[in-house]
């Protein structure tokens, strides 16, 4: 029989090392997750494809859905809150549905209808979410912070998400250690517990890089730790700010959101609030790249209008480099590349956040895009709309790369078929329907799974 190896995270070397410590037992009774996860064979997602006929002019208005990244972090944040959280504007996408499964696998009651989601955590009976679900979405791993803070322990599978490069979790682990957690890796799962056997303890931690997920996880953990926590060099993305607002509405005391330092006074208990998720800036920017203009924005609603004339027409021959907020968002990098292919001039797009986020280039080249890649830099020779791109069959291999293929397909002459649409559905609610309502010519092909005898 093969014995499982227990590894211990060494904060000095930043590596997991063998550990002879006796495995701890979760004090919260564990429920076997196979009882709680959706049956896997019956709910296989059908293999969708999109057929686009290029060249349509867009006009009209659409509403922007709630932010995916904000919703995922706040759904994790509901685990800090006793009683019921009422969330508005949660996008209906496969990533949020996966997050519901993660919460349900802990014993949380989730009711969702038309973007309104009620989360009741009083029935939590496990600190180990379904690992298959956690491996589906990066946001699933964020639950390690709230579980540890509220129950003193957590067992969470290593995270999944888009394949866009190495996505380590060293900052999460070192940050949790700074708050008094012991962290081990066992059988592909992170096992963490409060070293005093009860609660995390406030501390000071400097993030080497302003990681969005690590900032959010540590913010949730610190909200329920004993004493004051200072987190330096944190992420400043609007979604991080939205999570801080949610936590503060639950009774937490998070100060400095939107700056590079957070000061968090821990509270014994947080209570589920009513909260509205911000609109998705990446979806809004994607539609801007398709020639639409943002005409109305309030804290909670964002409307996009496609007007005659192309607002993106002046973007040509530019040098774009991605970086942490407020720099250019990495999640918009594939889409800006698709836009620049249709603009006269030479442009450069540099990716500095993830080390493998150029996978969409090969597919854009199939559509006629003149792009050369050298490491993490793409050199684009653009030609004006309609003259250079032609439809063919391409495949989405990740969420944002898939969105770029839709943009390029709409600009191409002829018919484009996009496979791998499940990647796009992870993060955009009804994107094809929204574009069709603006005049795009897009059809969805649904091939149902073949029945096995
Ligand atoms: C989040 C977003 C994702 C977005 C990204 C950057 C969610 C669910 N996803 O992902 O859409 O593209 O922010 O804006 O909110 N890193 C480390 N060690 C760590 C953690 C991260 O080195 O412990 C590095 C990563 O390898 C990467 C960089 O930090 O190079 C940025 O990653 P991070 O900000 O953590 O992205 P995510 O939170 O995974």
Nearest to 276 by CA among 37, 6, 89: 89
Question: pTM for the whole thing?
Answer: 0.88
pLDDT at 312: 59
Q: Whose CA is nearest to atom 37 of ligand 1?
A: 213
pLDDT at 37: 31
Nearest to 341 by CA among 310, 320, 367: 367
Q: Whose CA is nearest to atom 35 of ligand 1?
A: 211
Say if ligand 1 is within 6 A of residue 426 CB. no
Enzyme catalytic residues: 162
Nearest to 378 by CA among 325, 321, 327: 321
pLDDT greater than 70 at residue 97: yes
Say if ligand 1 is within 6 A of residue 330 CB. yes
List, for residues 339-360, the tens digit of each pLDDT value. Answer: 899 888 999 999 999 998 999 9
What's the CA gap between 269 and 86, in Å, rounded? 17
The CA 215 to ligand 1 mean position distance, Å, reads 10
Say if ligand 1 is within 6 A of residue 217 CB. no
List, for residues 361-384, the tens digit of each pLDDT value. Answer: 999 999 999 999 999 999 999 987
pLDDT at 162: 65
CA-170 nearest atom, ligand 1: 23
Tokens of 203: 């501390």
Exposed (0-12), middle (13-18) or buried (19+): which is 258, by Cβ within 10 Å? middle
Say if ligand 1 is within 6 A of residue 72 CB. yes
Cis peptide before 393 (omega within 30 of 0): no
pLDDT at 302: 55
Residues of the chain with pLDDT > 70: what percent? 81
Helix (H, G, I), strand (E, B) or coil at 328: strand
CA-329 nearest atom, ligand 1: 14
Q: Are 350 and 318 in contact (CB under 8 A)?
A: no
pLDDT greater than 90 at residue 157: yes
pLDDT-derived band at 438 (thresholds 50, 70, 90) equals confident
pLDDT at 159: 84
Say if ligand 1 is within 6 A of residue 214 CB. yes
Q: Bigger pLDDT: 290 or 245? A: 245
List, for residues 184-241, the tens digit of each pLDDT value. Answer: 999 889 999 999 888 999 999 999 999 999 999 999 999 999 999 999 999 999 999 9
The CA 167 to ligand 1 mean position distance, Å, reads 7
Q: Cα–chain-centroid distance for residue 209? A: 18
pLDDT-derived band at 112 (thresholds 50, 70, 90) equals very high
Nearest to 408 by CA among 342, 346, 319: 342
pLDDT-derived band at 107 (thresholds 50, 70, 90) equals very high
Q: Give the range among 2-11, 99-108, 112-121, 182-191 with minimum mean pLDDT.
A: 2-11
List, for residues 371-419, the tens digit of each pLDDT value. Answer: 999 999 999 999 875 568 999 999 999 999 999 999 999 989 999 999 9
The CA 214 to ligand 1 mean position distance, Å, reads 8
pLDDT-derived band at 29 (thresholds 50, 70, 90) equals very low
Q: What average pLDDT does the structure give for the chain? A: 85
Tokens of 287: 């539609």
In 114-255, beta strands by DSSP E: 116-120, 153-157, 181-186, 189-194, 204-206, 228-232, 253-255
pLDDT at 42: 36
Say if ligand 1 is within 6 A of residue 166 CB. yes
pLDDT greater than 90 at residue 269: yes
Give the mean model confidence (pLDDT) for residues 265-282: 96
Q: Whose CA is nearest to atom 25 of ligand 1?
A: 167
Q: Give the range among 9-13, 158-162, 179-183 with minimum mean pLDDT.
A: 9-13
């Amino acid at each position: 029989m093969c014995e499982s190896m227990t590894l211990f995270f060494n904060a000095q070397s930043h590596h997991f090392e063998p550990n002879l410590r006796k495995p701890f037992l979760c004090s919260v009774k564990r429920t076997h997750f196979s009882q709680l996860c959706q049956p896997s064979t019956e709910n296989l997602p059908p293999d969708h494809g999109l057929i686009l006929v290029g060249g349509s002019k867009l006009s009209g208005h659409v509403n922007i859905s709630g932010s995916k990244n904000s919703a995922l972090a706040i759904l994790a944040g509901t685990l800090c809150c006793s009683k019921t959280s009422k969330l508005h504007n949660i996008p209906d996408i496969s990533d949020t549905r996966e997050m519901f499964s993660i919460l349900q696998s802990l014993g949380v009651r989730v009711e969702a209808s038309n973007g309104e989601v009620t989360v009741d955590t009083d029935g939590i009976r496990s600190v180990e979410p379904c690992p298959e679900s956690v491996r589906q979405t990066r946001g699933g791993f964020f639950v390690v912070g709230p579980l540890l803070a509220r129950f003193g322990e957590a067992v969470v599978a290593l995270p999944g998400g888009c394949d866009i490069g190495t996505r380590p979790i060293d900052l999460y682990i070192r940050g949790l250690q700074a708050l008094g957690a012991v962290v081990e890796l066992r059988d592909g799962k992170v096992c963490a517990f409060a070293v005093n056997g009860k609660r995390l303890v406030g501390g000071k931690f400097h993030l080497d890089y302003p990681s969005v997920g690590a900032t959010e996880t540590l913010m949730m953990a610190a909200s329920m730790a004993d004493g004051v926590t200072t987190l330096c060099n944190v992420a400043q993305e609007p979604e991080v700010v939205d999570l801080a607002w949610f936590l503060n509405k639950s009774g937490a005391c998070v100060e400095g959101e939107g700056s590079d330092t957070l000061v968090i006074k821990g509270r014994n208990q947080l209570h589920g609030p009513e909260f509205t998720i911000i609109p998705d800036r990446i979806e809004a920017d994607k539609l801007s790249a398709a020639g639409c203009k943002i005409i109305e924005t309030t804290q909670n609603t964002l409307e996009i209008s496609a007007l005659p004339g192309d607002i993106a027409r002046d973007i040509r021959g530019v040098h774009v480099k991605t970086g942490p907020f407020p720099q250019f968002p990495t999640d918009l990098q594939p889409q800006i590349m698709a836009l620049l292919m249709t603009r006269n001039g030479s442009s450069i797009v540099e990716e500095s956040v993830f080390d493998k986020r150029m996978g969409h280039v090969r597919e854009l080249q199939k559509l006629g895009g003149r792009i050369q890649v050298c490491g993490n830099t793409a050199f684009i020779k653009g030609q004006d709309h309609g003259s250079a791109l032609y439809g063919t069959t391409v495949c989405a291999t990740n969420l944002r790369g898939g969105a770029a293929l839709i943009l390029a397909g709409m600009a191409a002459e002829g018919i484009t078929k996009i496979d791998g649409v499940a990647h796009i559905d992870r993060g955009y609610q009804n994107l094809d329907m929204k574009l069709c309502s603006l005049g795009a010519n897009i059809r969805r092909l649904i091939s149902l799974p073949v029945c096995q005898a």
